[in-house]
């Protein structure tokens, strides 16, 4: 009963959290970050206690602490519904990639989720979240061009860009201050500084992790689907094979054309089912191995040089 109550509480909280913000709780009644760590590491802590602490922190808009408490509750008593609440804390902190990861984990841990369609729709919406770019320059009020087109904002400012590759140009006093090409992912936040006299540079990001995760998720679902087809076809072929064998025995006892035809059809259908099972299993294995090998190749790829702007300067990182 205690676990049922916890599950109902979680579902209610997730619904309210997505509907409207909560009124902040009294700050002096909440544990500090250090106290929270001690509470969650206490061996007497129960899943219900950790969950209730998370609710209070969430109401107080301390979303990072709420996530920690709910993650501890999930460890003590795994409940997929908690992952939806944790996703809410991440989304309120502007962590769209983290939100997507938690929603996907929810669907993975609860394959029969009744809200699968709505969660998938939420993920699709998050994947379209634009990136936020903070554009700064040494002198304020300089014009900005995005992909060759001027915008109505001047430095310093924030602009939103669709995920993908873009080129930014800053112009001041009729002269080009600098040009930078960037690769941004959904929900990403990046700051770029333009300094007069700098050579044009390219800001290259390594292959976005969300792209790789999306490919892996698609491949994983394909493997599961093909495995299911293989299992179903194998079962069907086995049943038809036993039935055909029984028909053969009946034919020996009473050799008639009808029994012979029926036995041949059943045997044919059984062979077809076994063929489908084998083909599906081979395809599933191929997809699995191809995805795994692609991931390994990416991990072992040639070192890439990545430039990132941080504050007034830029840094270069050689990645292996």
Q: What integer is the mean pLDDT of 246-267?
A: 75
List, edge to edge, every strand of the sheet that includes 164-172. Answer: 149-154, 143-146, 164-172, 175-184, 201-202
Residues 6 or more apart from 297 whose CB is under 8 A from it?
none
Q: What is the pLDDT of residue 75?
A: 93
- pLDDT exceeding 90 applies to what percent of the chain? 32
Q: Rounded mean pLDDT of the chain? A: 77
Pair 111, 80: CB distance under 8 Å: no
Q: Comparing 197 with 1, which gets the higher pLDDT?
A: 197
pLDDT higher than 50, residue 314: no
- pLDDT exceeding 70 applies to what percent of the chain? 75
Q: Comparing 280 with 129, which gets the higher pLDDT?
A: 129
Q: Could you read off the pLDDT of 115-132 as tens digits, one per residue? A: 999 999 999 999 988 988
Tokens 């106290």 sit on residue:
35
pLDDT higher than 60, residue 270: yes
Q: Could you read off the pLDDT of 222-254 as tens digits, one per residue? A: 777 777 877 887 788 788 777 877 777 777 777
Helices 209-253 and 257-299, packing angle to 10 deg: 160
Q: Could you say which DSSP state residue 30 is in?
A: S
- pTM of the predicted protein model: 0.49
Q: Comparing 93 with 11, which gets the higher pLDDT?
A: 93
pLDDT higher than 80, residue 167: yes
Q: By mean pLDDT, which of 11-25, 33-47, 71-85 is the weakest?
A: 11-25
Rg of the chain, C-alpha, whole Å: 29
pLDDT higher than 50, residue 311: no
Residues 6 or more apart from 164 whose CB is under 8 A from it?
183, 184
Chain centroid to CA 2: how far?
Answer: 31
């Amino acid at each position: 009963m205690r676990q049922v109550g916890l599950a109902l509480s979680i579902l209610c909280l997730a619904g309210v959290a997505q509907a409207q913000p909560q009124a902040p709780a009294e700050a002096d009644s909440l544990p500090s970050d250090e106290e929270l760590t001690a509470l969650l590491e206490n061996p007497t802590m129960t899943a219900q206690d950790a969950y209730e602490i998370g609710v209070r922190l969430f109401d107080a808009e301390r979303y990072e602490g709420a996530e920690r408490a709910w993650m501890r509750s999930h460890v003590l008593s795994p409940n997929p519904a908690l992952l939806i609440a944790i996703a809410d804390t991440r989304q309120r902190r502007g962590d769209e990639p983290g939100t997507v990861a938690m929603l996907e984990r929810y669907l993975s841990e609860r394959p029969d989720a009744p809200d699968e369609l709505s969660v998938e729709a939420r993920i699709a919406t998050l994947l379209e979240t634009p990136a936020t770019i903070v554009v700064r320059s040494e002198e304020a009020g300089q014009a900005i061009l995005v992909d060759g087109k001027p915008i109505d904002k001047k430095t310093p400012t924030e602009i939103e860009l669709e995920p993908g590759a873009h080129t930014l140009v800053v112009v001041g006093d009729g002269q080009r201050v600098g040009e930078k090409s960037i690769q941004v992912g959904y929900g990403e936040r990046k700051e770029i500084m333009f300094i007069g006299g700098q050579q044009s540079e390219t800001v290259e990001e390594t292959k976005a992790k969300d792209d790789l995760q999306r490919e892996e998720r698609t491949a994983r679902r394909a493997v599961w689907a093909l495995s299911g087809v293989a299992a179903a076809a194998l079962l069907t072929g086995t049943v038809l094979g036993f039935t055909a064998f029984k028909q053969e025995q009946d034919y020996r006892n009473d050799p008639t054309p009808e029994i012979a035809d029926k036995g041949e059809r059943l045997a044919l259908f059984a062979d077809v089912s076994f063929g489908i099972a084998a083909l599906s299993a081979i395809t599933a294995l191929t997809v699995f191995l191809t995805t795994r090998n692609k991931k390994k190749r990416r991990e072992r790829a040639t070192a890439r040089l990545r430039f990132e702007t941080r504050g007034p300067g830029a840094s270069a990182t050689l990645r292996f």
